[in-house]
Structure 1
Amino acid sequence: MGRWEPNARGRLAEAALQLYSERGFEQTTVAEIARRAGLTERTFFRHYADKREVLFGSGELQELFVQAVAGAPESASPIDAMAVGLDAVCEMFADRHAHARKRQAVITANAELRERELIKLASVSAALADALRRRGVAEPAASLTAEAGVAVFKVGFERWIGAAEGRPMTQLVRESLAELKAVTAGHQGAPADGGSRGGDA
């Protein structure tokens, strides 16, 4: 039986992100990641299939997003159920701003990782659409709402990790959702200060 390594997965993830930031994703090897974490390559492969999976291996975001949408009040409209999911996901990122910025910088710098990120988001969208269908939302509304939810998350997240942005991610994502609602309601766009967003649904 292998030696138990406390928080091996987290240590490997942190070591990998440090190395990717310092040296670049392509230049970093699994052996270097394991060595930086004080672990073995064998331990690395017990937790991750390859060095990309250190950045994408956790299904935590998708699971949390889907569960929150599924658990929204039965009376909630599809977009309001999506809003419940968005709030839950924002909470997950509450204390991870520096980590999220560093991870995104690594992904942005590599075409293969950018493609993988798009695949991941497509998977999240498909899972959200399925959750909405289970709530009784018909097609194409389920898929459209799921895609909109992912787009709102993506825009809000990118604003949150922006260098000049100091506001909470929850606020930025809610603003993005309000903008989407304004656009679909036929307005030119919601005011920048959020003054007339109110309780419009």
Structure 2
Amino acid sequence: MIKVLGRASSINVRKVLWTCVELGLDIVHEPWGDPGLPLQSPAFLAHNPQGLVPVLVDGDTVLTESNTICRYLATRQDRHDLLPASPLQRAQVEQWMDWQATELNNAWRYAFMALVRRSPLHTDEAAIAASVQEWNRQMSLLDAALAHGGPYVTGAHFTVADVVLGLSAQRWHMAPIAHAELPHVLDYLRRLNERQGFQQHGNNGMP
């Protein structure tokens, strides 16, 4: 039995939960990080010494890092529609996943912590404005890719890259910021909302 450890309010946990829906996997979800299941407990730290979610437990296998877990699950189930076997096609999926984890995440982090999490450590107005500007700029790259290809980020077929990017696009769309006009991203979100996994784990606000 596969276990997914991590509170469902985490965007990274939702990546894994959505992927499990796409794969039709029967899993046990343990909401570590919710009250009563602290991430600093010895039981959780035995799985991930960093104290971060998600964690996947598959028999004797323990994995961390949400994008890695999504790729593992798709490969485990031989779902080459979600993660192609062809080296080039797989790389095209993975490059978008890596972009999400690096450039896009770094762009939104300060603004999100300030405007959504209300972090007292993120109150610099200039830094907030710069983060919003960069967030919109990075999202415009996704909009352009969807405009020239689509309907999904790598072309005609839905992949695990769309799980990762769909949640990121939803976060951008729901954030209390001045949004750039990105019609292809909004169409993308409407398309993703037709999928059960997005309805359950993606289109659920800002936590």
TM-score > 0.5 by shorter chain:
no
* Higher RCO, 1 vs 2 (CA within 8 Å, ≥6 residues apart): 2
Q: TM-score, normalised by structure 2?
A: 0.29
Q: TM-score, normalised by structure 1?
A: 0.29
> Which structure carries more helix by proportion?
1
> Which structure carries more strand by proportion?
2
